[in-house]
Amino acid sequence: MIAIQDNTMNDTVNQAVTHSSRLEQCFATLKQQNRPALVSYLTAGDPDADTSHRLLHGLPDAGVDIIELGMPFSDPMADGPAIQKAALRALESGQTQTKTLEMVRNFRQENSTTPVVLMGYYNPIYCYGVERFLTDAATAGVDGLIVVDLPPEHDEELCQPAAQHGIDFIRLATPTTDARRLPKVLANASGFIYYVSVAGVTGGSAPTPERLENSVAHLREHTDLPIAVGFGIRTAEQAATIGRFSDAVVVGSALVDCIEHAASGDDAVEQVHGLVSELAESVRACREVDEQVIS
């Protein structure tokens, strides 16, 4: 029994080595271009299925490199007001786990390169059924999962089964993750490391770049995985500053705010893609200054 499990594990590992994932390819390409990835967060089904579909499909053209798609949950304990409201809007318009997976499947029919990472809380996955969820997510073309309330202590719940399905489990490291704990956080991490820039909820106060740069540098000493930075990044200027020393910059609440304040679905699409373009331009140019200085 144990021997069989070991073989399965080896097969998965070998697969991962021979076929590089969309996330690996994405980061490899960006490394050649010497620029960080722009990661966007939107809640699936916000504000409604149709608008959400249009928002999602337009993200790569607007300049997003990696898509984080939120699975709405009624009780998002780690989110600030903007993403809380987004989840409620999505749920009120009838969003479900099944529909979220369907969105990814539809997206994959026209885009086979942009990585899609599902982000959310464990309960909707647990209720869907972990094995069923991972099977459906892998089939739909999901590349990774970020599940806020599953620390490494519960790796057997989802993190390890996800690896069996070839889905990356993206771990959050935070300002409270001390040296003693870091190895545990990194142990089963894959895809990239998401550094939570400030202790708090999403959409909160902006991090100070100096402290952040030190934290990212410290993380690099312990992992070869790319490091994304998120929480509190709202503007093109912030994204550029943080993009100079991180491998990816995550913007969520600022985009979700556009949806809240939009006059219509069309307006939401225009505003979100507009802000994404601005952020993308800024992120693409953020290391050029450094290069000029060096040359």
Partner 1 sequence: MNKPMDLSSSLPDANGLFGSFGGRFVAETLMPLILELQDEYATAKNDPEFQRQLAYFQGDYVGRPSPLYFAERLTEHFGGASIYLKREELNHTGAHKINNCIGQGLLARQMGKKRIIAETGAGMHGVATATVAARFGLPCVIYMGTADIERQQTNVFRMQLLGAEIVPVTSGTGTLKDAMNEALRDWVTNVDDTFYIIGTVAGPHPYPAMVRDFQAVIGHETRAQMLEKHGRLPDSLVACIGGGSNAMGLFHPFLNDSAVQMIGVEAGGKGVNSGLHAASLNGGTPGVLHGNRTYLLQNADGQISDAHSISAGLDYPGIGPEHAWLHEQGRVEYVSATDAEALEAFQICCRQEGIIPALETAHALAEVAKRAPTLPREHLMVVNLSGRGDKDMMSVAHHLGEQLDEAC
User: What residues line the site for partner 1 (CB under 8 A)?
Assistant: 73-78, 80-81, 84, 91, 96-98, 121-128, 148-151, 153-154, 171-178, 181, 185, 196, 199-201, 204
Closest approach, Cβ 238 to partner 1, in A, equals 19
Q: How far is CA 279 from CA 59, 66, 167, 172, 249, in A?
A: 12, 13, 28, 23, 10
Closest approach, Cβ 155 to partner 1, in A, equals 11
In angstroms, the CA 191 to CA 101 distance is 20
Let me know if 202 is exposed, middle or buried by CB neighbors in 10 A (0-12, 13-18, 19+).
buried
Nearer to partner 1, 38 or 150 (CB): 150
Closest approach, Cβ 61 to partner 1, in A, equals 31
Closest approach, Cβ 81 to partner 1, in A, equals 8
In angstroms, the CA 179 to CA 169 distance is 21
Nearest 5°: the CA angle 107, 112, 118 is: 55
* 226 contacts: CB under 8 Å, gap ≥ 6: 27, 37, 192, 193, 247, 248
Query: Where are the alpha helices (H) located in the chain, listed in sequence order?
Result: 2-18, 22-32, 49-62, 81-92, 97-110, 122-128, 130-140, 159-164, 182-187, 209-220, 236-243, 253-261, 265-285, 288-294
Closest approach, Cβ 152 to partner 1, in A, equals 8
Look at residues 170, 226, 233, 225 and name the one whose alpha carbon lies nearest to residue 197.
233
Nearer to partner 1, 15 or 74 (CB): 74
Nearer to partner 1, 156 or 291 (CB): 156
Nearer to partner 1, 52 or 177 (CB): 177
Examine the residue annotation and report whether 68 is marked as an active-site residue of this protein: yes
Q: Which of 46, 79, 136, 168 is catalytic?
A: 79
Nearer to partner 1, 61 or 149 (CB): 149
Nearer to partner 1, 111 or 174 (CB): 174
Strand order in the sheet with 168-169: 168-169, 144-147, 116-120, 66-70, 37-43, 248-251, 227-230, 193-196, 171-173
Given a contact cutoff of 8 angstroms between Cβ atoms, the answer to whether 66 and 114 are in contact is yes
Q: Which of 68, 136, 247, 257 is catalytic?
A: 68
Closest approach, Cβ 272 to partner 1, in A, equals 23
Examine the residue annotation and report whether 270 is marked as an active-site residue of this protein: no
Which residue reads 């100070």 in tokens? 208
Catalytic residues: 68, 79
